[in-house]
Amino acid sequence: MTARWIRAALAGVTALALSLTGCGAGADSTAGTGGTVTVFAAASLTETFTKLGRDFEAAHPGTRVVLNFAGSSALATQITQGAPADVFAAASPATMKTVTDAGDAAGPPAVLVRNQLVIAVPEGNPDRVGGLADLARPGVKVALCAEQVPCGAAAKSALAAAGVRLTPATLEQDVKGALSKVTLGEVDAALVYRTDVRAAAGLAAVEFPESARAVNDYPIVVLKHAANPDGARAFVEHVRSDAGLAVLTAAGFQAPPSR
């Protein structure tokens, strides 16, 4: 009798332990994640999303984040043409609209952060650039992003607000390309995001008031044909969390008005 009672008691304890384990898994927001999460993100998110991807992998053992950075317009085109991706983070609502209009978003995008333009110049500002008007001076070579790219569209708005017309020395397909022209000494200045200058070595940022007329919202969305929808949703939650926002704002991004 005693032995049977002990066996019954042990069986009950085992069943309770298994029940509690099951409950814990259901309550854990990391449950169900795993595999690969493929993220297409604007080039200006390179440094922050690289860190956020590593943080996400550490918090979700067994999950791998694959990041594809490029100009938002190029990424949007790739997505609508069937490129496999789970998450899209764009540098403007206009480029996100390409994806949502094509029916490739799993739901409405959420604004992740905002970004603002500055003039990138070499450290020491040898050409004494103080504002947008100085970019139109004879002999000053300027790099801009192409107009279809969010940083190019923002630059066009800012230059129009300042009443400045200039002929760029080069038009680049993403913000990193424009920034590299200054780093390599091929141009004297570039209109890029504040966050990109902050992440670069050997450059300085010149602020200008017209940048307030060209602030870019960065929307993010889980894609309709995501191969890993659970992982995609978890990644979006991660980057939109308070911890994720802290990483982004530390890099110079601005929190969206709703935060």
For the stretch 183-201, pLDDT in tens is 999 999 999 999 999 999 9
What confidence tier does 129 reach under pLDDT thresholds 50, 70, 90? very high
Q: Which residues contact 256 (CB under 8 A, 6 or more apart)?
A: 111, 112, 113, 114, 217
Tokens for 232? 């995609």
What confidence tier does 17 reach under pLDDT thresholds 50, 70, 90? very low
Whole-Å CA distances, 248 to 48, 143, 256: 6, 25, 11
Collect contacts of 244-251 with beta carbons under 8 A, ≥24 apart: 244/52, 245/113, 247/48, 247/51, 247/52, 247/55, 248/48, 248/112, 248/113, 249/113, 251/47, 251/48, 251/195, 251/198, 251/199
pLDDT at res. 259: 63
What confidence tier does 257 reach under pLDDT thresholds 50, 70, 90? confident
pLDDT at res. 229: 97
pLDDT at res. 27: 29
Taking Cα atoms as reference points, which of 87, 104, 102 lies closest to residue 42?
A: 87
pLDDT at res. 34: 80
